[in-house]
Structure 1
Amino acid sequence: MKDILEYLFSYNTLKKEEAKSIMLQIPRGVFNEYEITSFMSVFMMRSITIDELLGFTDALKETAIKVDLNTSDLVDIVGTGGDGKNTFNISTLACFVVAGTGQKVAKHGNIGASSVSGSSNVMQELGVKFTNDSEQLKKQLDQANICFLHAPLFHPSLKKVAPMRKQLGFRTFFNMLGPLANPANPDYSTIGVYNMEIARLYNYYLQKEKSHFSIVHSLDGYDEISLTGESIVIDEKGTQLLSPQEFKSNKIAEHDLYGGKTKEAAADLFLKILKGEGSSAQNEVVITNAAIALQNTHKYGDFEECRNLAKESLESGAALNCLNQLISA
C-alpha cells in the first residue's frame, strides 16, 4: 500500500485493473486500517475517475454474495449520501411507497457513515431482521412487495471498511459504490447524487449497464429531489432541469426535511410519515421521489399518473402495510 499511496500522492490516478485489484485485496486483510483510511482520504482531495469507479465497482460486484430472487423486475431507490443535509430517510420511504403500489422493490441500504441514520439504522430500529438468504428475501418480497438488502452482508469490502468510515464521519468514495452494486441487480434504479460531477460519472456508467435508470440531484446539494429548488433528472433519454412546480408541487423549506439528531428520532419520524401523520411538505417530497422511480419503469404512465399512484399508496396505508409485512416476514 505504501507504493500505491506514494503513487497517488504524486497526483497520479489508477487504471481500471489497478483499482479493481486494490478493492479485491481489502476484504482479504492485506491492508491495515491506517492504510485503508489513507487510501480513502486520497479521494477526498480529488475526484474519482471513471476508470477508478469502474474498477472499484467491478471488484465489489465480483466479491458480492449472490442472491436469486427469481426476478429482476425490481425497483431500487437509493442515494449516495454524503450531502451533509441530515434529511429524514426520503429514499427509503419512497421505496415503501413504491412497494405499496404493487411494484416489487429490492432496497439496498447501509448504516449511516456520514449521517445520523442510514436506511439500515432505521430498519433495525423498526424491527426488520437483516439476512442474505435468498429464500428469506423471496419471502419478504412475496409478503411485503419489498425486501431489504443490508449491504455489509453482501459486500465483504463494505463490512471491512464500515468502522473506518464511521470514525472518519465524512463521505468517501465508498458512498459512490453502494448504489451501483445492488446484489439483486434490479432492472430499475433511481439514484440520488450529491453533486453534478458524480451525476456525470454515474450517467456514463449506467448508460452501459442499465436499460432504465434515473439519476436525481437537487441544485442546492441534496442527493434526492428535495423540492427546495430546481432539480436535475437524468435518464437514458437525456437531462432535464425541473422546478417544484413541474413536479406538481410547491417549493418547500429546508427545515421541512430535517431528520432528527438520533437514530431513534429518525425511525419515529419514518413511522409517523408512513402512518399519514407527516407534514404536507414531508409527504410531497416522498411522493415525488417515489413517482420518479415508478415513471422510470415505463409501466405506469407519465409523471402525473405515477404521482397519483404514489399518493394513493401513502394516503391509503398501503405503504405502511408493506413495512408491517416486511417486519413480520
Structure 2
Amino acid sequence: MKKLLNLLFENYTLSEEEAYQIMVDISESKYSDIEIASFLTVFNMRNITLPELNGYRRALLDLCHQVNMPNQGLDIVGTGGDGKDTFNISTLSAFVIAGAGEKVIKQGNYGASSVSGSSNMLENFGYEFSNNETKLNREYDEIGITFLHAPLFHPALKKVAPLRKSLGVKTFFNLMGPLVNPVQPTHQNLGTFDVKTARLYHYVMQNSDNKFSISTALDGYDEISLTSPTKVYTNEGEFLIQSQDFGFETIKAEEISGGISIEDNAKIFLSVLKNESSKARKNVVLANSALGLKTINPTKDLKECVAIAEESLSSGKAFEIFKKLTNR
C-alpha cells in the first residue's frame, strides 16, 4: 500500500484491474485502517476516474453475497455525502412507490456523514436486517418491497463501515453504494451530489441493460430537492427539470432539513407517511417518488406520476406498506 499511496499522491490513476484488486484486498482485510483512510483521502482530493469506478464496482458485485430473487423492480437511492442533512427522502419515496403497486428492491446503509441513513431509520422502527433469501423473497412477494442492508452483502463495505463513520466525511464508497445493489434491479433511480458524479454514473449505466434515471440538484443535493433545478440523466438523454414540471413551487432549503437526531428524523418520517407533514416535505417526497415512477413507466409525464404518488400517500397505502415491512 505504501508504494501505491506514493504513486497516488503524484496523481497516478488506477487501471480498472488495479482498482478491482484493491477492492478485493480491502475486503480480505489486507490493509490497516490507517492505510485505508489514507487511500480514501486521495479520492477526496481528486475526482475518481471511470476505470477506477468500474473496477471498484465490478469487484463489489463479484464479491457480494448473492441473492436468488427476482430482479424486476426499482432501487431508489442516493450517494449521500451532500452535507445537506435532509430527512430520509429516498427511503420515504420507496414506500410511496411500493404503495403505488410497484416492486421496490432498495439497498441502503447507515449514515456515514449524516445523522440518519436509510438503515438507521428502518432499524429505529424495528426492521430486522437479513440476507436470508426466504425472508427477502417473502417481503418482495407479499409486501412489494424489501430492503438490503449493504454491509450484509458486501464484505468490503462491512470492513470500512466503522472507519467511514469515524471519518465523518463522504468518501468514494458513497459513490459505490447506489451502483452495487446485489440484485441489480431492472430499474434504478439514483441520486448524486454533483454533476461530475452524475455523468460518471451515466457512463456506467449506459453499459447496463437497466432502465435508469440519475438526478442531481444544481445546488448540491443528491436527489430532487425542489430548491433548485435538477439535472436528470436517463436512457433517453439528459434533461433539466424545474419544480414547476411537477406542479410544485420552488422551496427553501430549511423547509426540507432533517432533525439533529435519529429520533427527530423518525418523527418527520412518520409525519410524511401519515400525510401529516408540511407541504414542502410532502412535495419533495412526491417529486422523488414521481421520478421513480416515471423511470418504471417512461411514457407517463411527471405530473401524472405525481398524482399516482399522491394517491399512494393520501390513501394510506404507503403507510400500510411501511407497517407491514416493519411489523408495526
Structure 2 portions without partners, runs of 5+ = none
Distance in 2, matches of 1:250 and 1:299, equals 23
* Secondary structure at 2:130 match in 1: coil
Residue aligned with 1:186, SS? coil
Deviation at residue 168 of structure 1 after TM alignment: 0.6
Alignment-mate amino acid for residue 159 of structure 1:
K
Amino acid at match of 1:237: E
Instruction: Work out the CA distance in 2 between the residues paired with 1:236 and 1:268.
Output: 36
The one-letter code of the counterpart of 2:164 is: R
1:302 Cα deviation from its structure 2 partner? 2.3
State the match for 2:2 in structure 1.
Answer: 2
Q: CA deviation at 1:300?
A: 6.9
Residue aligning to 2:15: 15
> 1:27 Cα deviation (Å)?
1.6
Structure 2 CA distance for partners of 1:327 and 1:36, relative to 1, 3 Å: same
Q: Distance in 1 between matches of 2:85 and 2:50?
A: 28
Equivalence for 1:102: 101
Match of 1:234 in 2: 233
SS in 2 for 1:209: coil
**Aligned runs of 1:47-126 on 2, under 5 Å?**
47-69=47-69, 71-126=70-125
Structure-1 separation of matches of 2:4 and 2:23:
12
| TM-score normalized with structure 2 length | 0.98
* Contact 1:300 1:306 survives alignment (8 Å): no
> Which amino acid is the alignment partner of residue 268 of structure 1?
K
- Structure 2 counterpart of 1:218: 217
Deviation digits for residues 177-234 of structure 1, max 9, x if unmatched? 0100001110000001000000110000000013310001111110000001111111
Separation in 1, partners of 2:298, 2:100: 12
Q: Give matches, 1:131-150, under 5 Å.
A: 131-150=130-149
Cα distance between partner residues in 2 of 1:84 and 1:193:
12
- Percentage of identical aligned residues: 47
Q: Does 1:30 align with 2:30?
A: yes
Q: Which moved more, 1:93-102 or 1:293-302?
A: 293-302
Q: Structure 2 CA distance, aligned partners of 1:66 and 1:99? A: 23
| Deviation digits for residues 298-318 of structure 1 (CA, Å, limit 9, x no counterpart) | 267222221111010011110
- Once residues 247 and 119 of structure 1 are traced to their aligned partners in structure 2, the CA distance between those partners, rounded to angstroms, is 25
Structure 1 CA distance for aligned equivalents of residues 99 and 168 of structure 2: 34
SS of the residue 1:88 aligns to: coil
Task: Tell me, yes or no, if the aligned pair for 2:185 and 2:210 is still in contact at 8 Å.
Answer: no
Provide the C-alpha distance between the structure 1 equivalents of 2:15 and 2:312, rounded to a whole number of angstroms: 46
Q: C-alpha separation between the residues in 1 aligned to 2:257 and 2:160? A: 28
Any conservation in 1 of the 2:290–2:309 contact (CA below 8 Å)?
yes
Say whether the 8 Å CA contact 2:188–2:210 is kept in structure 1: no
CA contact (8 A) 1:143 1:326 kept: no
Alpha-carbon deviations, 1:7-39, whole Å to 9, x = none? Answer: 101110000000000000112111011101110
Asked if 1:245 is matched to 2:244, the reply is yes
Superposed CA deviations along residues 106-132 of structure 1, whole A, max 9, x for unmatched, are 110000001010000000001111000
- CA–CA separation in structure 1 for the residues paired with 2:101 and 2:81: 31
Equivalent residue number for residue 314 of structure 1: 313
Root-mean-square deviation (CA, aligned residues, Å) is 1.1
Deviation string, structure 1 residues 75-125 (Cα, Å, up to 9, x no partner): 111000000000000000000000001101011000000101000000000
Please say if residues 245 and 302 of structure 2, whose CA atoms lie closer than 8 Å, have aligned partners that are also in contact. Answer: no
How does 1:281-300 map onto structure 2 within 5 Å?
A: 281-298=280-297
Worse-matched range after superposition: 137-146 or 125-134: 137-146
- Mind listing any 5+ residue stretches in structure 1 that lack a counterpart? none
> In the alignment, which residue of structure 1 is the partner of 2:154?
155
